Chains A and B, each alone.
Chain A
Amino acid sequence: MSENIRTLTARLAEEPSSLAFLELGEALRRRGQLEAAYKVARGGLSRYPGLAEAHDLHGRILGDQGDLAGAFDAWVEALRFDPMRTSALKGIAFLYFRAGDAAAALEHLQRAADIDPDDPTITQALVRMKSADREGHGAVAPARGLQEDSRLTSEPDTAEPQADTRTQGQLLVDGAGLRLSGNLRGPHEEDVGDRVAAELAGVSREASRTSRLLGLGVWQTIAVESPEGNLFLIAPTPDTVLLTMRGPSLPLAQLGLIAERAAREARVWLESQE
Chain B
Amino acid sequence: MSPANAALERVTQVPGVRGSLLISGTDGLVVAERLMDGIDGRAIAALAANLIKRLGRATVGAGMRVPTFVHLRGNAGSVLAAPGQNDLVLVAVVGLDANLGLARLEMLDAVGRLT
- Residues of chain A at the chain B interface (Cβ within 8 Å): 167, 184, 186-188, 190, 192, 195-196, 198-200, 202-203, 206-207, 209-211, 213-229, 231, 243, 245
Contact = CB atoms under 8 A, between A and B. Distances in A.
14 contacts: A184-B62, A186-B62, A195-B61, A199-B58, A209-B47, A210-B50, A216-B73, A216-B75, A217-B76, A217-B77, A222-B70, A222-B71, A223-B70, A225-B69
Nearest to B43: A213
Contacts of B65: 226-228
A187 to B, nearest CB: 4
B23 interface: no
B91 to A, nearest CB: 10
A223 B63 contact: no
B6 interface: no
Given A216-B74, A216-B77, A219-B72, A207 B64 contact: no
Contacts of A202: 54, 57
A214 B47 contact: yes
A190 B67 CA distance: 20
A228 B64 contact: yes
Contacts of A190: 63
Given A187-B64, A210-B47, A231 B59 contact: yes
B55 A196 contact: no
Contact of A214 (B43, B68, B75): B43
B78 interface: yes
A218 B74 contact: yes
A210 to B, nearest CB: 4
Nearest to A209: B47
A257 to B, nearest CB: 14
